[in-house]
Structure 1
């Protein structure tokens, strides 16, 4: 076995690994705080003004209520985020403290937000919005 070839390959692997870390590759993004969620919403839909923001405890999704009573869901997709404005009808159910939302769009799928104690209040907000639009 050629030890020079083996050591050269190992050095190349270490250099590539360190370069990937330095570039931030392979790091899963999280929604850090409400301001970060607000920026993501603005990037996705110019003019959307959130008045209430709930971020999942794991930081991979957020639910935003706009000043015009529209809802936006932001969720992680790979190492980016995707956002959808959703409106009635919204499929919403509460499983313990996890709010499970479906926009009705198959490509977007269901979004599970672990909102802790806020889960019930957000489920109630969504149900009230549904009732208001259905009346």
Structure 2
């Protein structure tokens, strides 16, 4: 008798426990995807942004906002791929031309540009 009671409780509690665990893991997964940019990459982005937009406290705030918005839209690995393509396009010669004239690379850069535009709207035009 006690065994069947234990089995019934396990059958009713276990699905609820699994559901609760999966619900708790959802927000953690989303937070992880927004925070997958390494600290060095974040600092590099913000230093570059501040160099282009002024060395003020307001600039620091907006550049930090911009990076957070970018990270929420574009995973770090795709950011690195697009940044690499942009860097390679600055060169000269056959290799640079391959990066300039390949649709796959154009798509990666376009995705980065769209994410940057969205981040600018959120942080510079939205009054952050």
TM (norm. structure 1) is 0.34
Greater RCO, 1 or 2 (C-alpha within 8 Å, sep 6+): 2
Larger radius of gyration: 2
Higher helix content, 1 or 2: 2
